[in-house]
Structures are given as C-alpha cells and as structure tokens.
Amino acid sequence: MSQKKRMKTPRKVVEMIDAIFPTRYDFEDMLAEQAERTLEGVRVFVDWLDHHPGEEPAALGRIEADVDSFRYSLEEKLGDSFSTPFDRQDIYSLSRQMDYILGFSLATAREMHLFQVTPDRPIREMAGALLLGTGHVAAGVRAIGTDQKKVRESIREARKTIHMVGDTYMLGLKDLFETPVTIEMMKRREVYHHLWDAGGALQSTVDILHKAAVGIDLGGN
C-alpha cells in the first residue's frame, strides 16, 4: 500500500516566518512546568495513600485546580501564537493528557475517601507505577527541544510503567472477582478502574510526546 508523503517546509522558509512572526511564548518551558506540577501532584497522591487515606485529599485538590488554571493559560497563549516550536495540536494534546493523569489521580482519591476504601496491594502498586511513569514523562518533556536521546529513553522507561499498571489492574481484578460479590468489592473495582484510566492517560501522553519528538504520525495508538 502506498503512503502519502508529508511535505516539509524548507528551513529557509521556516526561518523567514520565525523572523517575521517570532514566537511569543516558550511553550516547551510551559509544558515542562506543567509536567513538573503534574509529577508533584501524583507524588502527593501517593503520599496521601501512604499516610492519610482516610482524610479528604484537599492538598491534591488544590494542586489539580492550580494545574487546571495553568493549562487554561497555556491554551489561551497557544491560540494567540502564530509560531510554535512544534505542531500546536501536539502541544495542546500533550498538555491535555497530562491534565488527565492528575485528574484521574484526584478522582481516585476522592472515591476512596467517599467510599471509605482502604489502599490494598493493587492500588498501591498501580499508584507507584503511575508515579514512576509520570516522572519519566516529566524528564522527557524537559528534554524535548534539546536532547532527543533523553526523550527516547524516557519514553521507553515510561512504557514499562504503563505495562505495570495494566498488569496489576488485571491481576487485581482477577483476585477481586474470586471473592463474593459485595458492596465493598464493587467500590474497590471502581477505584481500580480510575487508576487504570490514569494509566491510559499516561499512555496517551507518552504517545503524543513520541509523535512530537520524532515528527511522525502514530495514528490512533
């Protein structure tokens, strides 16, 4: 099957456009800041699981709200900018998917608090893998404009943690479904699923990071 080739804008044309319409905002720096804030939020989530699972996750809620405001500001600047360091859709999608990682973490914590679900092995392991993966994403986003080798390494390591989330989710469900059907079991299944969703957001983030870094279309993966 023949593949349609993508036309690339000549470097001289790009340089001319950049000279006439200079980049007004440092989107790479803004994405890196959002990635660091997201990492801090997931770290607070894991700390909450370890030390305060019975309490309302207020600190995590404040971080999530701050990151939301930061993302809205980034989106406004993106709409105002003529020139961007890489595809503006990738910038938007990368920011949005990172936001989902934090959003699902907060949703998990709120469910656990409201449903009075205590952390068990699958919850702790999925959250730990999510934290590791978010750390690799943050490292990759920081390096996106300067160190492609570091970006590729971060993507490889992040994908390992995504598999960890998926494997733990499946095994956790297997063990859960071998117990009698109770309200507690149904609550725990919902918590597992939100952590699985966070892992899905992590996977989408990594795929977009890869696309942005190497300039290829990964399709619907």
Write out pLDDT tens, residues 56-104: 999 999 999 999 999 999 988 887 766 777 778 888 999 999 999 999 9
Kindly report the backbone phi and psi dihedral angles of residue 213, in degrees, each rounded to the nearest multiple of 5, phi listed first.
-75, -40
Q: Which two tokens stand for residue 104?
A: 């699902």
Q: Give the pLDDT band (50/70/90) at residue 6.
A: very low
14: pLDDT strictly greater than 80: no
Q: Give the pLDDT band (50/70/90) at residue 207.
A: very high
Predicted pLDDT of residue 19 = 52
Q: How far is CA 78 from the centre of its chain?
A: 19
Predicted pLDDT of residue 214 = 75
Q: Give the pLDDT band (50/70/90) at residue 5.
A: very low
Average pLDDT of the chain is 87
User: What is the C-alpha R_g of the chain?
Assistant: 19
Q: Give the pLDDT band (50/70/90) at residue 192.
A: very high
Q: Name which of 118, 112, 123, 99 is nearest 196 in CA terms.
A: 123
Predicted pLDDT of residue 188 = 96
Predicted pLDDT of residue 93 = 92
What percentage of residues in the chain have a pLDDT greater than 70? Answer: 84
Distances (CA, A) of 162 to 3, 28, 75, 181, 200: 30, 24, 27, 29, 8
Q: Which domains does the chain have, with CATH numbers?
A: 25-214 (1.20.58.220)
Which of these ranges, 88-92, 93-97, 156-160, 216-220, has the smallest mean pLDDT? 216-220
Rounded to an integer, the average pLDDT of 178-189 is 93
150: pLDDT strictly greater than 70: yes
Structural contact between residues 167 and 183, judged by C-beta atoms closer than 8 angstroms: no
pTM for this prediction: 0.85
3: pLDDT strictly greater than 60: no
Could you write out the three-class secondary structure of 186-214?
Answer: HHHHHHHHHHHHHHHHHHHHHHHHHHHHH
